Amino acid sequence: MLKHLFDIAQKSLCEIYPDGEASQIAFLLLEGMCGASKTDVLLGKTPEKIVSENDFNAALARLKNQEPIQYVLGYAYFCGHKFKVNSSTLIPRPETEELVDLVLSENFHKNPVNVLDIGTGSGCIPISLQLQRNLWKCTGADISKEALQIALQNSVDLGSTVDFIQMDILHSASNRSENEKKYDIIISNPPYVLNSDKNEMQSNVLDYEPHSALFVPDESPLIFYASILEFSHWHLKPGGKVYFEIHHKMGEPMVDLMKKNNFTDAETRLDFNNKVRFAKGTYLPK
C-alpha cells in the first residue's frame, strides 16, 4: 500500500517539480500522513496509520498547487524538534539553525542569560535555545497574535519555558524606560527580502508564506535592524550581544549600521552556502 501511494504521489508531483524534489516531497507526505519512513516505503511495509483516499487526495491537491509540504502537514523540523507551523508563520530554514548554533557556541559558558528573539514566528529560535540551555530565560516577540499562538503551543508541546510577548518593533524602538527588562542577548531574523527580489522567488514561498515576515522596501532594506539596534540602546545590557540573520547583499551596510550604534566587534559570518548570512556585535555604550 505504501509503495502504491508513493507511486501515485511521485507521478502527480513530477508534473510540477523536478524528479528528485517530487520524490522527497512524496516521502515526506507519507511520513506525515502514514507514519512511514523512507525505508518503510521502499520495503512496502504496512503503514502505522491508515490514511483515507479523500484525505490523501486533498493533501496531494494542495501540493500540486505548490503549497509547501510543511503547511500541508502542519509542522516542520528545526534543530531536531518538531514545530507546528501554518500560514501565519514562516517555515524555519536550515540557515536559521546555523544562527542558533552560533549563539550557543559563543555563549556556552554563560548561565543564566536573558535572551530576546524579535520576530519569533513559530518560536523556533528561543525554544531551541532554551531546550539546550535550561537556565536561560528566553522571550519571543512578534507583531502577529496568530504567530504567537502557534509559538506558545510549540513551547508547551516541546516542554520549554519561553515567554512570548506581542511587539511591533518599528514602533517600540524609542521606548526609553530605564526600568524595562534588560537582556544579555537580542536575536532577530526579521524581514529582509527586498521587494525587487519577488520575481526571483518560487511560488511555494511567494504565494503561501506571510509577506509581512519576508519583505522590506528596496529603499529601506535595513529598517528592522535599525529599529532593533535603537531598541537595544535601552534594553540590552552593556557588553550584551546582538545576532542577526541578514540579506546576503547587506553585509557591509549592516556592519556600518552596527558600528554607528555603538556595537564593537561588528562582523558578518557565512552560511553553509558560503553566502553572507549573519551579523553580530557587542554593545558598548559611550
The predicted pLDDT at position 202 comes to 85
Q: Cβ neighbours of residue 68 under 8 Å, at least 6 residues apart?
A: 91, 204, 205, 208, 209
Q: Which DSSP string do the residues of 115-166 spell out, in sequence order?
A: EEEES-TTTHHHHHHHHH-TT-EEEEEES-HHHHHHHHHHHHHHT---EEEE
Task: Read off the pTM.
Answer: 0.94
Which of the residue ranges 45-59, 61-75, 129-143 would you say has the lowest mean pLDDT?
A: 45-59
Per-residue pLDDT reduced to its tens digit, 249-285: 999 999 999 999 999 999 999 999 999 999 999 999 8
Contact 231, 182 (CB under 8 A): no
**So what's the pLDDT on residue 188?**
98
Confidence band, pLDDT 50/70/90 cuts, at residue 2: confident
pLDDT mean over 143-172 = 96
Average the pLDDT over 75-97 and give the result.
Answer: 97
Which of 16-20, 46-50, 92-96 is predicted with the least confidence, judged by mean pLDDT?
Answer: 46-50
The residue-averaged pLDDT of 88-109 equals 95
Compute the distance between CA of residue 83 and CA of residue 98 in angstroms, rounded to an integer: 17
Banded pLDDT at 108 (limits 50, 70, 90): confident
Q: Please give the mean pLDDT across all residues of the chain.
A: 93
| Other CB atoms within 10 A of residue 285 CB | 12
Task: Please give the grid coordinates belonging to residue 271.
Answer: 552560511
Q: How confident is the model at residue 48 (pLDDT cuts 50, 70, 90)?
A: confident
Predicted local distance difference test score (pLDDT) of residue 177: 54
The residues that bridge with 250 in the sheet, in sequence order, are none
